[in-house]
A and B are shown apart, each in its own frame.
Chain A
Amino acid sequence: MRQELTSFDGGTAIRQRRASPMAWLLAAPLFAWVVAFVVAPTLIMLVYSLCERGTLGGVVYHFTWENYAAVADPTYLNILVRSVVFSLVTTLACLVMGYPVAFYIGRAPEARRNLLLMLVMIPFWTSFLIRTYAWVTILKSEGLLNSVLLQVGMITQPFEMLYTPGAVILGLVYTFLPFMILPIYTSVEKLDNALIEAAFDLGAGPVRAFSKVIVPMTSPGITAGILLVFVPALGLYAVNDILGGGKVDMIGNIIENQFKGSARNWPFGAALGMTLVVAFAAALWYTGRRPRTA
């Protein structure tokens, strides 16, 4: 980092100027934060993942690769793949539902825009767990939705919705939808109307104007939304426990069990965690290095 800064010394562009001591001072809290809460925990996790299991939990500082060999077991790989699929479906559903909403909010008159944004944020005022349990009340056999459907005669038997994979996806989409809407909204809000008009003037129909102009211009928001939904959805296990009945383990459940379940296998849990971190980092790096073609 320092190397780069000095090599640019003397440059004329603003971004190439040497950082002043004041700038370092202002950035210091951020660095401290990143070191304390990102770098240090990741290093601890890395060390743990190369240790042996302690009898009462914890680790014995004795080097081994065994935990990573265990991660490669088909059982855990299958669970990993399924978790990725669940997250992808969630991300896609959030995108399909969230984009039109974000677009509508972003193009609404200013006064209405704030009200609509507020509506998106309101669920955050209640604990995520309580909102998830509320879905139990709605979806259960003798629950709200089933009794309404029975009343209006759409079904004759209670429809089994709770404790199904569909309920898990529903819960995940419900939880993460705002994380898709908000970043896309900020992109849409900045969208230059003149460019869209220009597209129409040059003969583009609504579809082409959308795919050639609007989507590329809002792509930073879309990318941010996808990351903000996909990554946490992969790790979230509470929704799976509450709405899925814990029937199909997600990778998050497996990791949790290594620390809080009967196996007490911290090193293995750490190895699973490290595998996820590395996979994410690789995916981010790969998408980041692809040349942008417009």
Chain B
Amino acid sequence: MKRVPLFVAIVLAAALASTGCTKKAEAPNEINLFAWSEYVPQGVIDGFTAETGIRVNYETYASNEEMLAKLVSGAQKYDLIQPSEYTIEALIKEQRLQLVDWAKVPNFKNIGQEFKNLPHDPRQLYSVPWMAGSVGIVVNTDKIKEPITGYNDVFQEKHSGRIVVLDDPREIVSWALATVGKGPNDVTPQTLEQVKPILARWLPLVKVYDSDSPKTALLNGDVDLGIVWSGEAALLYAENEKFQYVLPAEGAHQFLDSLAIPIDAPNPIGAMAFMNYILRPEVSRLISADFPYTNPNLEARKLLEEPELDNPASYPPGNPKLTGFSDIGDSAVAIDKLVTDLKAKG
């Protein structure tokens, strides 16, 4: 009896070892895509492989830092990664990205002007926008009757224990900065000191910190208010219109996730073929159908249906005040410490 597990282990080890060897020898008719989980529809990957014969190995991550950790370790070479704006900026600074040959990505013309030449990639040399979105307030209007327009309306004593927020120190600090009229990138020891008492008041009111699926606590009825990704809010709104999305009047974070090619990518040609493929309106439309963020592809938006375009979480009406994050370097450590400290006290 005891011999069986050992035998199985040996067979498994041998199998692992052999796959490890064969992988390297293959010709590059495949690309390694390293992207956010819940962000690339399988149909899009299958469509690309069916058309080009290029196989796609899709590996996922749950935070920019998780992606960086694997990228920096160099254990696996990726052809395409999907960083957010501030991570692109850091990667460009460290010369970790390849130039995109725009002649191979003609469909880039479909991207709207307001998503091009943004501060993180000012000359648009390295990245192809995937989806944009914002971080805003979701209100369960069945439970909360008064109007909620900004962060200060959310963090009130009467909503204690009824709030879910992203488990992300940088996001949380940016909201407090907005209430004192500072931008999300204005992170200095002075501004952090300024928002500390505000956060000390806010954090004890929070019931759940969740970045992966903040909609769950709202759907389950465990909380009535949330500050969450717009895509999560759009899914909540599609489920039940009692979940209203509000962009905070003080200002909010607009994120933009893009495809980029690491400097050591084995198959950059394949990567650019994939970029061009997903920029086709009919393909980009499929991504919007599954993940209702703000599609930067204006040609694809024309193919969307009325309810999709009317979803205020996907396409916020009016002219909201939105800012992208920039790379703040070592200040991230100070932010992490501040929020950890306040959470521990709360």
**What residues of chain A have their CB less than 8 Å away from a CB belonging to chain B?**
53-58, 73, 75-76, 78-79, 82, 136, 140-143, 160, 162-163, 241, 245-249, 254, 257, 259-266, 268
Counting CB contacts under 8 A, is B161 at the interface? yes
Counting CB contacts under 8 A, is B304 at the interface? no
Contacts beyond the supplied A58-B69, A249-B340, A257-B340: 17 A-B pairs with Cβ under 8 Å:
A53-B330, A53-B333, A55-B93, A56-B96, A58-B72, A136-B216, A143-B220, A162-B222, A245-B210, A247-B208, A247-B209, A247-B346, A260-B62, A261-B63, A262-B335, A263-B169, A265-B333
B90 lies within 8 A of A263 (CB): no
> Which of B73, B164, B216, B337 counts the most chain A CB atoms within 10 A?
B337
| Given A261-B336, A262-B65, CB of A56 within 8 Å of CB of B209 | no
A160 lies within 8 A of B217 (CB): no
Counting CB contacts under 8 A, is B206 at the interface? yes
Q: Point out the residue from B69, B335, B336 that lies within 8 Å of A57, measured CB to CB.
A: B69
Counting CB contacts under 8 A, is B302 at the interface? no
Q: Point out the residue from A54, A78, A140, A262 that lies within 8 Å of B221, measured CB to CB.
A: A140
Q: Point out the residue from B65, B68, B161, B167 that lies within 8 Å of A160, measured CB to CB.
A: B161
8 Å CB interface, B217-270 against A? 217, 220-222
Q: Which residue of A lies closest to B168 (CB)?
A: A262
Q: How far is the CB of A195 from chain B (nearest CB, A)?
A: 30
| Given A53-B333, A262-B170, A264-B68, CB of A141 within 8 Å of CB of B91 | no
A56 lies within 8 A of B94 (CB): yes
CA distance A201 to B114 in the complex (A): 90
Which residues does chain B contribute within 8 Å of A260, judged by CB atoms?
62-63, 65-66, 69
A79 lies within 8 A of B220 (CB): no
Q: Which residue of B lies closest to A133 (CB)?
A: B216
Q: Which 9 A-B pairs have the closest CB atoms?
A: A245-B208, A263-B336, A246-B209, A58-B72, A140-B220, A142-B221, A260-B66, A75-B341, A57-B68
Q: Which residue of B lies closest to A258 (CB)?
A: B336
B208 lies within 8 A of A246 (CB): yes
Counting CB contacts under 8 A, is B343 at the interface? yes
B343 lies within 8 A of A249 (CB): yes
Which residues does chain A contribute within 8 Å of B66, judged by CB atoms?
259-260
CA distance A55 to B95 in the complex (A): 12
Q: How far is the CB of B91 from chain A (nearest CB, A)?
A: 7
CA distance A136 to B216 in the complex (A): 10
Counting CB contacts under 8 A, is B207 at the interface? yes
Which residues does chain A contribute within 8 Å of B68, judged by CB atoms?
56-57, 264
Which residues does chain B contribute within 8 Å of A246, judged by CB atoms?
167, 208-210
A142 lies within 8 A of B220 (CB): yes
> Which of A53, A57, A140, A141 counts the most chain B CB atoms within 10 A?
A57
Which residues does chain A contribute within 8 Å of B206, judged by CB atoms?
247
Q: Which residue of A lies closest to B72 (CB)?
A: A58
Q: How far is the CB of A244 from chain B (nearest CB, A)?
A: 9
Q: Which residue of B lies closest to A260 (CB)?
A: B66
CA distance A254 to B343 in the complex (A): 11
Q: Which residue of A lies closest to B63 (CB)?
A: A260
| Given A58-B72, A75-B341, CB of A245 within 8 Å of CB of B335 | no
Q: Which residue of A lies closest to B209 (CB)?
A: A246
Q: Point out the residue from B216, B332, B337, B346 that lies within 8 Å of A75, measured CB to CB.
A: B337
Counting CB contacts under 8 A, is B344 at the interface? yes
CA distance A20 to B333 in the complex (A): 54
Which residues does chain A contribute within 8 Å of B222, judged by CB atoms?
140-141, 162-163
Q: How far is the CB of B260 from chain A (nearest CB, A)?
A: 13
Which residues does chain B contribute within 8 Å of A73, judged by CB atoms?
337
A56 lies within 8 A of B90 (CB): yes
